[in-house]
Amino acid sequence: MGTDNSNFSNVDDSPLEGLVGTSSTMRSVYQMTRLSAASSSSVLLLGETGTGKELIAAALHKLSDRASGPFVRVNCGALTESLLDSELFGHVRGSFTDAVRDRTGRFEAAHGGTIFLDEVNSTSSTLQVKLLRVLQEREFERVGDTRTIQVDVRVIAASNCDLNLEVSEGRFREDLFWRLNVLPIALPPLRRREGDVEALVRFFLNVYCQANGKEIKKIHPDALQALVEYQWPGNVRELQNYIERAVVLSQGDQLEPSLLPTAVIGDSTAAQVAVFRPTDDQSLIRELVYNQLSKAEKSDTDLYRQIVEPVEKELLVQVLHACNHTQTKAATRLGINRNTLYKKLTEFGLAKSKSDDAETES
């Protein structure tokens, strides 16, 4: 859930430190960030992977009156429940098998400053209860301890999925959602940041030319057009990767189309998602449908037939690629019988012999 920033005309909308882009969607983000920084209320950053949520979190901290305090980052999606519990709240010696000494948790380490909880949607129901208590009472206990610790911490959380949907489907606590969602800031995907791609390309060209001792002074018009027209499912992080690669591979003083991957210079659905795909299966399917739907004529009346078959075929391609073309693994991930998968691959002209698959699996 975003916020209508149209009434903030008197708030500075210039780019924040470390961020590039002057599109109207980003100017609204800059304004909301500056307004939110003055408060100690919780902030919820919403946006696709690669849209710059950590940069906004860092900007919120630097602009706040907590700037002299610590800024602590935690990726909630990178750890198991037990490890994340210990990471966030600490533990005492002997509380579990590997607890050979007392450990300070991230909330305690962030006292007087800001803690950034990335991928907060990944937390278990048990941890969500503990997070709710910290937000409400500003206190917690280390794992295995009975002593209550008081903390003064500002919480910034981030999610790359729709938390309203997570709440409605019972995967995220509604009370925690409202505690986190005091000041929501929605970060737009790069495809909706009109005019920002060129600025970002030039920015990253400068960064990686300096890092690699290169001098690329020009961008071929065809390369720039391809970059501007690409849909960027991986957002700014994807663009950054492609520009770094182009600089490393370049032999002259111009960014040529040949330095860009097929995903950018190609025009097929497969190319659009070939290298950087969304991080979860549901996002991948949404992206495939979006790409195929954008090709359909407005007058078309048989969208189901036109979209489902190409998307199904592309999904098979993507899952096979992710499973190193091992059909057994791909069938398991898709939740179908291997013979059914082989039949589908044959139907779409993607099948190789089962003996080849056996060699791949051996």
Helix (H, G, I), strand (E, B) or coil at 254: strand
Sign (positive or negative) of CA dihedral 122, 128, 130, 131: positive
CB 190 within 8 A of CB 236: yes
Q: Does domain 190-266 have CATH number 1.10.8.60?
A: yes
Q: Which stretches in the chain have pLDDT values below 70? A: 1-7, 94-97, 99-100, 267-307, 352-362
Structure tokens at 54: 């950590």
Which pLDDT score, from 0 to 100, does residue 284 have?
56
Q: Looking at the DSSP assignment, which residues form a beta bridge with residue 202?
A: none
141-172: per-residue pLDDT in tens? 888 777 889 999 999 999 999 899 999 999 99
What is the percentage of the chain residues whose pLDDT exceeds 90? 56
80-101: per-residue pLDDT in tens? 888 898 889 987 776 666 765 7
Q: How far is CA 213 from CA 48, 168, 177, 207, 256, in A?
A: 33, 52, 47, 10, 18
Which pLDDT score, from 0 to 100, does residue 99 have?
63
Closest CA to 360 of 314, 328, 322, 338: 328
HSE-up (13 A, CA, CB side) for residue 204: 21
Structure tokens at 11: 């708030």
SS3 per-residue string spanning 260-314: CCHHHHCCCHHHHCCCCCCCCHHHHHHHHHHHHHCCCCCCCCCHHHHHHHHHHHH
Q: How far is CA 103 from CA 32, 87, 88, 100, in A?
A: 36, 9, 10, 9
- Domain spans in the chain, listed from the N-terminal domain onward: 24-188, 190-266
- Residue 176 sits at φ, ψ, to 5 deg, of -70, -40
Q: Classify domain 24-188 by CATH number.
A: 3.40.50.300
Which pLDDT score, from 0 to 100, does residue 335 have?
77
CB 114 within 8 A of CB 122: no
